Chains A and B, each alone.
Chain A
Amino acid sequence: AQSVTQLGSHVSVSEGALVLLRCNYSSSVPPYLFWYVQYPNQGLQLLLKYTTGATLVKGINGFEAEFKKSETSFHLTKPSAHMSDAAEYFCAVSKGGGSNYKLTFGKGTLLTVNP
C-alpha cells in the first residue's frame, strides 16, 4: 500500500520568502510522485511530477521538488513566494508505470502568503 504524509497542514510565509512544503511517502514499489495545487473553488492543477530520471524536478510557477529515495521525501520549494501562490498544495503518489493510475494524496498544506 502507498501513503503520503504532508508535514504541516498550514504554512505561512512572507512575500519574497522561501516556500518549503514537506512531503514524505511510503511505497513498496518505485513511485511516481506529484505535486498539485488547488485554488478556491477549483480543481487540481499539476505543478510538477517525478517519474524516472533526474531527481530534481522543475515545475510551473517557479516551483521545484527533489526526489530523495533514502529519505522517502519529495519536498516542494520555491525561492521567493508571491501573493498568487496562496493556495492548497497536495502531494500525491502512484505506482510507477503499468496500468495502475490511482493517485494517493496527502491531506494537503494550506499556504498563506503575507504581504
Chain B
Amino acid sequence: KAGVTQTPRYLIKTRGQQVTLSCSPISGHRSVSWYQQTPGQGLQFLFEYFSETQRNKGNFPGRFSGRQFSNSRSEMNVSTLELGDSALYLCASSLLDGRGHNEQFFGPGTRLTVL
C-alpha cells in the first residue's frame, strides 16, 4: 500500500506570495492532519480534517487554511507569506478505526523556504 505522499517536496516563495501544498493520504484513511516543523518551535499542529470537515485546529493565524476533498486528499494554503513561515510542513493520515487507535502515518513533508 502506498504511503502518504506530499507535493511538492521543495518550494521557494517570496514574502507576500501565497502557496498551496498537497497531501494524498494512505488509501482508506479519512483523517488528515497537518503539522509545521521549525528548528525554533519544533512540531506544531496546524489542523485536522475528517470527511471534508475541519475538526481540530491549532494556534495559527488565519493566513493558514486547509481543505479536504471527497477522496480524502487535502490541501493547505498559506497566504501573505512571511519569512517565519519557512518550515517543513508535514501531513499525516489516520485510519480512524473506531477503536481510538489514532496512529498517524506521516508523509515526507514539503520544505517551504520564504525569501
A residues touching B (Cβ–Cβ < 8 Å)? 32, 34, 36, 41-46, 49, 51, 90, 92, 94, 96-108
Contacts and interface: CB of A to CB of B under 8 A. Distances in A.
Contacts of B94: 101
Contacts of B43: 90, 92, 103, 105, 108
Contact of A101 (B33, B107, B108): B33
Interface residues of B, number: 28
A75 to B, nearest CB: 19
Give the one of B31, B94, B102 with max A CB within 10 A: B102
Nearest to A90: B43
The prevalent SS among residues of B at the interface is: strand
Nearest to A49: B103
Contacts of B103: 34, 46, 49
Contacts of A96: 100
A102 B109 CA distance: 18
Contact of A43 (B96, B102, B106): B106
